[in-house]
Amino acid sequence: MPIYKRSLFSWVFKTSVPLQLLLLLLIIGVVFLRVLPLEIQKRIINDVLAVGDVSQLLVYCLIFLLAVVFSSLLKLSVNAVQTVIGQRALTDMRRELYQHILRLPLSFFRKTPTGTVVASLVTELSASANFVGAAIAVPLSNILTLVAIGAYLIWLNALLGIVTLSIYPIALFIVPLVQRGVNTWNKRRVDSSNKMASRITESVSGISEIHAQGSFQDEERSYNSIIERLLKIRIIWTLYRYGVKVTNNLFVGLGPVVVMLLGGYLLMQGETELGSIVAFLSAQEKLYDPWKELIDFYQTQQDASVRYQKVMQIFTGETEFTLIAEQRSPPAIRGSIEIRDLEFVTPNGIKLLDQLNLSLEAGEHLALVGFSGSGKSTLAKCIGQLYSYTGGELLIDGRSVAQMSKEEVVRSVGFISQDPIIFSGTINDNLTYACNALADYPDRDNDREPVSLDDKIAVLQQAGVFVDILRFGLNTILDHQRHPELEKRFLKIRANFQENFGAELAEHVEFYYQDNYLYHSTIVENLIFGSIQSDLTLDSLEENREFLTFLDSVNLKLPLLETGAELLKQTVDILGRDVPRDNVFFEQTPVEPSKYDRYLELADQLGTAPLTKLATENRLLLMKLAFRYIPARHKIVDLQQLLEKLILAGRHEFRVWSGEHMVGAVSFYKDTEYIRSQSILNNIFYGNLTSDSPKVEDRVNQCIVQLLIEEDLLEQVAAIGMEFDVGNRGDKLSGGQQQKLSIARVLLKKPKVLIMDEATSALDNNSQSRIQNLIEKWKGSRTVISVIHRLDLLPSFDKVAVMKTGKIVESGEPQKLLADQGVLHELVHGKKR
Amino acid sequence: MNSSTERNVESDKRTGFEQDLDHLRKVPLFQGLDYECLKLIAMLCKKIDMIEGDQLMVQGEDDGYAYYLVSGSLQIFHRQDDVDYPMKTLEPGQFIGGLALLGKTIRLFTVQANEKSTLLRLHRDNFQKVMEQFAGNMTRIAANLASELTGWEKDILNLTERKELEGGNQVLGISLL
């Protein structure tokens, strides 16, 4: 049964049976231990106190004590088991709901806000899970306790027992009546809160319009009416909730009165003993607890089912495809495509595709062109099974795409979209994304081979992103424990570089010369001029007290603090307080966006006291800024000549000082040694590249590639580059790199049918042409459907279909259509003005 | 603490950032922008050095960059039927490629450095991030663009010979866009 049709209660039995049985046993133990003290109490009063037997008193008290202790321990165990069951249920719900959500049609995601999906999975389900954990334990243990105590009381004195217990059925009738009120108003509260949330979202996202129109009061009015209604609802809802408690307490409070009245009378008549009356009175209290818990549980259950239903309502919908093919081995796809009277109508009745007819032999290449909004992209998505068409037929190798399983489609069809989605992780994770997905489907013909490094490099080259990946590898600081053998080989490349290209590129490299200041390095790198091989890293050096003393001794402490303060002042002055904490705004300042709030606090304190009087942690923050300052990049502050001289002098002093204080821990830059704190590229250069010129960049790439090939290191550096972390949703990659990577990952899959939805639109002409040339070679072997906007690519396609407002207005060979001077001709050559 | 004032006393040198900001203030497209907005734009500009032959933009491509030429010189080319025709040369102080900041723009010209040149470079994505922060300034940019276009065509009209106008020129009229 699909998850959205399942009842909340069905989750109770889904969790492991042994745990539920264990729970049952524990509960029986608890109930027994709850009743036992009542009997002990009675015996102490009736038997022991009357006779005055001290040893008997001790025995009874010991039993009483043990009962209390064990009852608490058992209760703890019940809670533990209950929690495990509840949390497992939550995990199950989250797992299955997520699975369901991922497979919902794309149209679902267009109309459902991401926030709703997130909130449902993250917060809303936990209330339901609490209920599932408690669903058996709470009612069972409390009902059993009630029954056991009730039975014991009747056994003690039937009349008194029955009268005392008769209160509860009445309460059982009245309490749900009040609870119904709670539920009604709770639903209204949830609706009203949602309304409020969407109102706020709308206002905030439209804030510029509100400012532009000055419609503040109007917005406030509509918001106020919602919160005033919410106010009323919340008050009534809360009153009802208290109503449940009060009604309940009232009935329970009546208990002792009955016991005292009737029990007292019976005692006076000699029909019962004092011990029984005491037992009855304590039983009242013991009855109250389980009763209260039952009522609370009832409320939890009501609340949980309201929320659960709301969540499941959101995700009502069926998957539009089957995941795994039912046939044992679906036939291999050749790639012919037949489209007959194809229609795609949106749920609100807009016809995006209208009576399309088209046929394509296996291995033919089709270009889809047309005006924007003409349905090219929709058609491409229908062929790729991303949208399910609403009428007509779409056949691949004579089989309907609508009937095909996802398994068959992803095996044979590659889809590259215009807006590439790159997931967080490494280049490699993204590159193998499609292939890894395939690996999760059954391997029908046992013909699956693992993707080799050579395959990956080949597609990266085809997509034109190989050099970028290589560069990522070169910019990596080598992990010498993982690649201990590589350092020597890079040193060899350094020598070769110097010999072959050193003179040519010298003006674009800032070499690591002992007497030169490095404007493309941080202050701390300038000062240390080496790498530190202990727990201390360059990033945390400002926290090292001895090092700070050293700075003081070479007169650098105050100038560095001043530099830090100036950097901070300028940053705050330029960026302001409200700038988004986005890397892009922080590229020219050493302030890290994630720490900007902390730095803002510090900025407020600057100027109120001399820098040396700042709190230690604040001084460390300023020191850190100064340490990270790179003059060539952080142009908001100029490097003072005096500071430059002091740092160069400090560099010499540090050599002496570290020889005494950090023996063996520092290895200084030396042109015969690998520098572990610097990137591979800087190691090859033995310096920093200073140029941004594309020509220099190209030349550097050529040289480095040549050197890497000579040393047989190209693949290894590329592999290191593939470990580059692309950042959140790939934000460390440029738009072009993202697009190329998304092309490469589909190429790696070698699909029989390739659909490209303006896949190369973000790329430069050379890259577009390179990919087009590659695809041309597939003529006859792979079917290609490409939505293109660059019409000069048309000649390389077998067929072209021109679309306009959901219809194919022309189709056929490109040359022929152009000669006919129809719509395609108009598209290519522009309208006659 | 007082390093900035001290520096000002010591010499009149502006920081790299202040120099960039002064350059950008002269750009016609940025006239009348809020000072805070312009500062943020300057913060997202990157100063780059190019060498002779480096291409800033290539005809037919959408690179998304605008440039301010600080020093050096640039040559504009237009390619037709596989021939690159040199057009005008740009001198320091000129700003090019601004349209690319506003939206996808396929270049109609190739621009390359004639000699060693220093430029300020700004990308569309960054520019638009700034504009998201200062939404009201976009109106200013649009107004500047309109007056630039009109001014440009006015200059062309002044240069156009009466003969040509009498012939019923079919090309002029971009300011009627």
Is the per-residue pLDDT at B2 higher than 60?
no
Burial class, A18, CB count within 10 angstroms (exposed 0-12 / middle 13-18 / buried 19+): exposed
**Cα dist from A527 to A207, A590, A650, A653, A721, whole Å:** 49, 17, 6, 9, 29
Q: What share of chain A is helix, strand, coil (3-state, %, to 5)?
A: 65, 10, 25
Residues on chain A touching B40 (C-beta within 8 angstroms): 574-576, 579, 585
**Distance between CA atoms of B64 and B129, rounded to whole angstroms?**
14
Pure H helices in A662-751: 680-685, 694-710, 714-722, 735-747
Q: For chain A, give the percent of residues with pLDDT over 90.
A: 35
Q: Are A30 and A72 in contact (CB under 8 A)?
A: no
Sign of CA dihedral A400, A401, A407, A412: positive
Q: ipTM, 2 decimals?
A: 0.87
Q: How many residues does chain B have?
A: 177
**Distance between CA atoms of A687 and A510, rounded to whole angstroms?**
5
Q: What is the pLDDT of residue A624?
A: 92
Q: What is the CATH number of domain A337-465+725-805?
A: 3.40.50.300
Residues on chain B touching A208 (C-beta within 8 angstroms): 135
Residues on chain A touching B4 (C-beta within 8 angstroms): 566, 569
B11 touches chain A (CB under 8 A): no
**Structure tokens of A170?**
């009445």
B9 touches chain A (CB under 8 A): no
Is the per-residue pLDDT at A718 higher than 90?
yes
Burial class, B154, CB count within 10 angstroms (exposed 0-12 / middle 13-18 / buried 19+): exposed
Q: What is the pLDDT of residue A567?
A: 95
Residue A510 pairs in a beta bridge with A688
**Distance between CA atoms of A469 and A631, rounded to whole angstroms?**
27
Is the per-residue pLDDT at B6 higher than 50?
no
Q: Are A724 and A426 in contact (CB under 8 A)?
A: yes
**Distance between CA atoms of B61 and A422, rounded to whole angstroms?**
23
Q: What is the pLDDT of residue A373?
A: 83
Q: What is the pLDDT of residue A300?
A: 83
Judged by CB atoms closer than 8 Å, whether chains meet at B63 and A562 is answered as no
If residue A111 lies in a helix (H) or strand (E), which one and from where to where?
A: helix A106-111
Q: Which CATH class is domain A1-156?
A: mainly alpha
State pLDDT tens for residues A478-521: 888 888 889 999 999 999 999 988 888 888 999 999 899 999 99
> DSSP characters for A624-636?
HHHHH--TTT-TT
State pLDDT tens for residues A535-564: 666 677 777 888 888 999 999 999 999 999
**Distance between CA atoms of A574 and A325, rounded to whole angstroms?**
59
Q: What is the pLDDT of residue A327?
A: 65
Q: What is the pLDDT of residue B8?
A: 42
- List, in order of start, the domains of chain B with CATH numbers: 13-162 (2.60.120.10)
**Best mutation site among A208, A563, A636 for testing chain B: the one with the most B CBs within 10 Å?**
A636
State pLDDT tens for residues B20-65: 999 999 999 999 999 999 999 999 999 999 999 999 999 988 889 9
- Block residue for tokens 């209260």: A292
Q: What is the pLDDT of residue A818?
A: 86
Q: Which residue of A has its CA nearest to B54?
A: A695
Q: Are A283 and A38 in contact (CB under 8 A)?
A: yes
Domain ranges in chain A are 1-156, 158-271, 337-465+725-805, 513-667
B117 touches chain A (CB under 8 A): no
Judged by CB atoms closer than 8 Å, whether chains meet at B1 and A606 is answered as yes
Sign of CA dihedral A72, A75, A77, A79: negative
Q: What is the pLDDT of residue A445?
A: 66
**Structure tokens of A675?**
């520098």
Q: Is the pTM of this model over 0.95?
A: no
